[in-house]
Structure 1
């Protein structure tokens, strides 16, 4: 089940986030309030609860003594296994964009967007974040070197050096690779070309830090805007990659995060609240505490930090619980739920010269209907993705609608065919609604498919359907 979280189950989190954001930001959706409330209840009280029970069992039986999962990239090994070999084996400049609290499903949405660029090779790698899943230890894990300690004020040290703040992270980077620099993304990207080049001239490794989701979600006053912050972050990161590849001719970019997050729109119930941790606490938030001699109230579990070589211990909240002390309760992280601890590592490579993704590099799609006859104003059209998405075949996005005499007579649907599964899981059923009108029996309409995967829109396919509607 662990692998299913980053292979398919993240789609549930993504769809739920998009639903919530649409409902909060769009007008004319109030008529769907009952369905919206039902979906919200199912996600927060059924799906997350079941997932939390599985996670708690896994922590209790396997992971509280030794956190790393097998067969998944570890955040603490990021620089050693990804960045250092590139620096030692080539002369290219590498950009690393670290966006605070960008969880895996957000990384997947970014990957799908970048994959549509004709001159890009994009790969999404799941990565297990360091536990507890909070900013200071996550940011430290992404630096070169090894975490060597945590002081009583919560400062995390790498190779004996403080990781708190941009200046200290710059020092650690430059100790390992002199031609490195750490900058704030929102300060660097708006710069003109000459100003920007002056900051990265001669640099082999450029770390760009971005904090929008966590900054908004971690405040009780603004946590209700979490999903709006995600939407803003997606646009800013798209803009950043466009600027890096265009203005600065970036050939390789990595986008990742320090941790993910849990968010619920409904009020946190009393049963989800856990009493605060006592002991010699070095740092804490609503899902964890770290220090020495920590107690473990009901609804918590103690985690060994020996996997980091640390003597301290951590206590995390089980399930969906929150500690009552400090800050908002709806946006949380620090625990071991997959939404908190499975984070994205996006590898973006810019391909120079001839565009890599020609038409034949995308999966093929066909209409799977046997009978091309429409007998109802609301009907389903099945689409079949003929190949699975792979390193050589990329997703295809189609825009579909029915036309008669070149006038659209149905709703318009945009579908991305991006399944990596086997044949049985590659059919997508799409619901169309014909505009109410009197159609002559025997009239012909056309299902037009437009390919919107790349920079231009092209006709992908057209299929004729016969209309046999006898009443409105």
Structure 2
């Protein structure tokens, strides 16, 4: 480093001033022609001399000082300029009996760094660069192992850029970052130290450029054009042709390194937008066959074109549409894994939900209550899930106006083709004899699921968690290798609303609804946690009722105090219903949050409160439609009855109106109540006072309102931890003979109970870990049991450079989350025509 250069100078000066018995004082003149050491000279530690600064305008004063004022002290006289001509030098006579000191910074650097004499002119040509300690230290810190003209110039460029390694690509990434933000500091520095030509020469050789007037703008366009030309299965527009780089692999690898880097992704996005605007990508590619653009991942405009096409096909209900080998769901899944596709993930997920919903609603619906329940549990619930997810993803978009035609279509399909056909069949079925024996009843919940549990059981009652949301929770729980999970459907009370459902879930001999509308459990009104706990303790003294909100932020020790010594704990979770009642259009977001909250809660209680048995259920479900209820969907003239709600009426005689059915309340609750429950057979509502419940309603008769999940979870300590799925290379080749090579891989096993998905970065490296190909991000998330369906093919483009056939290069697979290299396979690079055929172009 610079400090070592100074140490050499210091040692030589101290040798000069060493007297060895000579009592005459010594004067040493140092004319530093380029002022290279002006900043360093005062830091010199001289054993037997002082430092005197000589300036062009103080020569006579210096002469007077040395010959009259101080004639005994040894001095180093430092002059940060060339020695004046003899006729202009007032100190020429002193020089006759003094000594001259010469310090050539280039020579000192060369010796210190081990740079050969033949490269010393390179140092001399750029010696101003090394006049600054900080710049010189950055150059030293690069740790360049072998010096030549190229590495010396590249090292100075990297030092100016602030790169940590002597790498053109790393320096270029930093330059592009600053230039994309209109910060020209590095370029100004390159010009100041005469390195601009070297910079462009290095870029030209690395990427295969041949420009007379290079610029950053041209370089950016060339990088993206070269990448696009590789990915688009057609010839690029004529106006792009001049920007194509000769060394395609180097350009692709460089852009991939930025795209896959957490540090440089935003830079990549800015550069891509700039290139897109300059190249008019949106207009240029508009006429291309869309199937030729599927693999292009360097422009967001490609996603825009594909998204427009998919939206059009969905609006036309063309569920069989495809581009090349990709049908719409597969196309969406593929694009989600691309860089810009990830940024549009909600759009693609929305499309997947839309097409599944379009396909699922084309089926017919079964007759008979038992058949309907069987089909709903097996697959019909998926329609409600897809509808929920469709709106969940739609609501995540900053501007969803472009998808309003699709939204209207999905809304109509869901309302008319699904609910409009299924609900009449359901309500015809519910009038059959013995329907209350088809599946377990909510009013028998405690005796059926809780009473005989030998272990402590935590019952989580999630207000308004309908069966389809419970299935999502079940699937997530089943992925935990430490759990054994099963799910059943349970028929809620009718009417299906919170206080009655919560009461039905408590142990009781008799469940009633008083004339005033109070829900009675063995004669007691159970409206809050305290009264519900009292009813629970009447059957099981070692029992507690607690609020989920009170527990979720509680410290483990405090939570353990609540659970210790208890046999049954009812936990009341109110995420979905409270949002549905007060912010209707957020109810699907609340469903997502509810699933996550319950998952986290089970894990917390299991680990912190020594509890292994959990049951998750609900008091009721709900119907949600995004479109507001129209007046034509309201059933009027009902205010004279005893209890009137939007989805049910309780009265003595029942409602005799078209579209309304009646069932005996005592039959539904298992008591002798002679009143009738009236409910719409479809999605209509009764006309009530107030404006609530325009989108989110419950209380009536539908599978969405009455089928609630019962998820039984047994957590075990001894099971194996969750393992991460692996990706394996399945080709047998070990030699690369083409700059563009396709290789086959396989996901080791399907994602499942004990296997979780993972994201891998796959590419080729040299022995020092430097990339020599593009790096591909692959998400291993397939649940396919058939191994053939878990195989995939990746295409690698190698840098066009010289490869040593006697050296090993490696295919590397790295886990993105952990940063651990999980696979490293040696390859021989047998590319006789790679590089520049021996010419340094």
TM-score of the superposition, structure 2-length normalised? 0.44
Task: Work out which of the residue numbers 671, 674, 678 in structure 2 matches 1:309.
Answer: 671
Aligned to 1:20: 391
Provide closer, same or farther for how the CA distance between residues 255 and 48 of structure 1 changes in structure 2, counting only shifts above 3 A: same
Shift of 1:242: 1.9
Q: Deviations over 1:163-210 (max 9, x none)?
A: 221111111101100111111111122112232233333111100111
Stretch of structure 1 that moved more, 172-181 or 286-295? 286-295
- What's the CA shift for 1:214? 1.2
- Aligned position for 1:374: none
The CA distance in 2 between the partners of 1:263 and 1:98, in whole Å, is 20
- In structure 2, relative to structure 1, the CA distance for the partners of 1:271 and 1:193 (3 Å cut) is same
Tell me if 1:198 matches 2:561: yes
Q: Distance in 1 between matches of 2:683 and 2:423?
A: 7
- Greater mean deviation of Cα atoms: 35-44 or 244-253: 35-44
1:77 is aligned to: 444
1:194 and 1:385, CA in 2 relative to 1: closer, same or farther beyond 3 A? closer
Question: What residue in structure 1 maps to residue 471 of structure 2?
Answer: 108
**In structure 1, distance between residues paired with 2:639 and 2:794:** 59
Aligned pairs for 1:161-240 (under 5 A) are: 161-219=524-582, 222-240=583-601
Q: Is 1:298 aligned with 2:658?
A: yes
Q: Which residue of 2 aligns with 1:49?
A: 420
For each residue in 1:215-258, what CA deviation from the matched residue of structure 2 results, as whole angstroms up to 9, or x when unmatched?
A: 22124xx2122112222222221221122112112110111000
Aligned-pair distance for 1:402? 10
Aligned residues: 415
Choose from 272, 276, 294 the match for 2:633: 272
Structure 1 window deviating more from structure 2 (44-53 vs 33-42): it is 33-42
* Residue aligning to 1:3: 374
- Pick aligned residue for 1:68 from 414, 436, 442: 436
Taking a change above 3 Å as real, the CA distance of residues 106 and 281 of structure 1, as seen in their structure-2 partners, is same
Give the 3-state SS of the residue equivalent to 2:708 in structure 1. strand
- Separation in 2, partners of 1:346, 1:456: 37
Match of 2:624 among 248, 263, 287: 263
Q: Equivalents in 2 of 1:431, 1:73: separation in Å?
A: 45
Where does 1:124-139 land on structure 2 (aligned, <5 Å)? Answer: 124-139=487-502
Does 1 or 2 have the higher relative contact order (CA < 8 Å, sep 6+)?
Answer: 1
Conserved 8 A contact 1:143-1:172: yes
Q: What is the CA deviation profile of residues 78-118 of structure 1, one whole-angstrom value per residue up to 9, with x for unaligned ones? A: 110111111xxx2x211001011000111111111111222
**2:739 matched residue in structure 1:** none
**What is the SS of the residue equivalent to 2:430?**
helix
**Residues 27-78 of structure 1, C-alpha deviation per residue, up to 9 Å, x if partnerless?**
4765544434322321222111111232232234x1xx655151x2221111
Q: 1:295 to 1:428 in 2, by over 3 A?
A: farther
**Compared with structure 1, are the counterparts of its residues 410 and 199 closer, same or farther at alpha carbon in structure 2 (3 Å cutoff)?**
closer
Checking the alignment, whether the CA contact within 8 Å between 2:482 and 2:716 is kept in structure 1 is yes
- Conserved 8 A contact 1:123-1:346: yes
Check whether the contact 2:757–2:779 (CA below 8 A) recurs between aligned residues. no
Match of 1:371 in 2: none
The one of 342, 347, 355 equivalent to 2:719 is 355
Cα deviations across residues 97-142 of structure 1 (Å, max 9, x unaligned)? 1011000111111111111222111111111112121112211111
Q: Distance in 1 between matches of 2:465 and 2:546?
A: 18
User: What does 1:387-466 align with in structure 2 at a 5 Å threshold?
Assistant: 394=753, 398=757, 407=774, 414-416=781-783
Aligned counterpart, 1:247: 608
Aligned residues of 1:401 and 1:411 also touching (Cα < 8 A) = yes
Residues 202 and 451 (structure 1), Cα distance of their counterparts in 2 relative to 1, 3 Å cut: farther
Contact 1:100 1:135 in 2 (8 A): yes
Distance of 1:8 and 1:26 partners within structure 2: 28
1:315, CA displacement in angstroms? 0.8
The answer for unaligned runs of 5 or more in structure 2 is 1-371, 729-745, 765-772, 799-810, 824-841
Q: 1:183 and 1:304, CA in 2 relative to 1: closer, same or farther beyond 3 A?
A: same
Give SS of 1:85's match. Answer: coil
Cα distance change, pair 76–232 in 1 and its aligned pair in 2 (3 A): same
Judged with a 3 Å threshold, the aligned counterparts in structure 2 of structure 1 residues 193 and 404 are, in CA distance, closer, same or farther, namely closer
1:29–1:126: structure 2 CA closer, same or farther, 3 Å change rule? same
Cα deviation code 1:396-455 (max 9, x no counterpart): 6656899665756588584556x9xxx9xx9989999999x99xxxxxxx9x99999xx9
1:39 partnered with 2:404: no
Equivalent-residue separation in structure 1 for 2:408 and 2:790 (angstroms)? 24
Aligned to 1:156: 519
The 3 A distance-change label for structure 1 pair 42 and 97 is: same
Alpha carbons 1:148, 1:310 under 8 Å: kept:
no
**2:503 match:** 140
For the Cα contact (< 8 Å) 1:278–1:295, is it kept in 2?
A: no
Distance in 2, Cα, partners of 1:161 & 1:234? 32
RMSD of equivalent CA atoms: 4.2
Are residues 31 and 253 of structure 1, via their aligned partners in 2, closer, same or farther at CA, if it must alter by over 3 Å? same
How far apart, CA to CA, are the structure 2 residues paired with 1:431 and 1:287? 51
Q: 2:621·2:707 contact (CA, 8 Å) conserved in 1?
A: yes
Task: Please give the alpha-carbon distance, in whole angstroms, between the structure 2 residues aligned to 1:365 and 1:278.
Answer: 65
Contact 1:398 1:416 in 2 (8 A): no
Question: What's the CA shift string for 1:371-420, capped at 9, x where partnerless?
Answer: xxxxxxxxxxxx99999x9xxx8486656899665756588584556x9x
What is the SS of the residue equivalent to 1:314? strand
Per residue, is there more helix in 1 or in 2? 2
Distance 1:293 1:57, change over 3 A: closer
Match of 1:287 in 2: 647
Q: Using the alignment, how far apart are the partners of 1:173 and 1:41 within structure 2?
A: 44
In 2: Cα distance, 1:216 partner to 1:103 partner: 14
Name the CA distance, whole Å, in 2 between partners of 1:252 and 1:182. Answer: 16
What does residue 93 of structure 1 align with? Answer: 456
TM-score for both structures, normalised by structure 1: 0.75
* DSSP-derived class of the 2:661 partner: strand
Max Rg structure: 2
For residues 157 and 240 of structure 1, the distance between their equivalents in structure 2, rounded to whole angstroms, comes to: 30
Provide the rounded CA distance (Å) in 2 between the counterparts of 1:10 and 1:385. Answer: 31
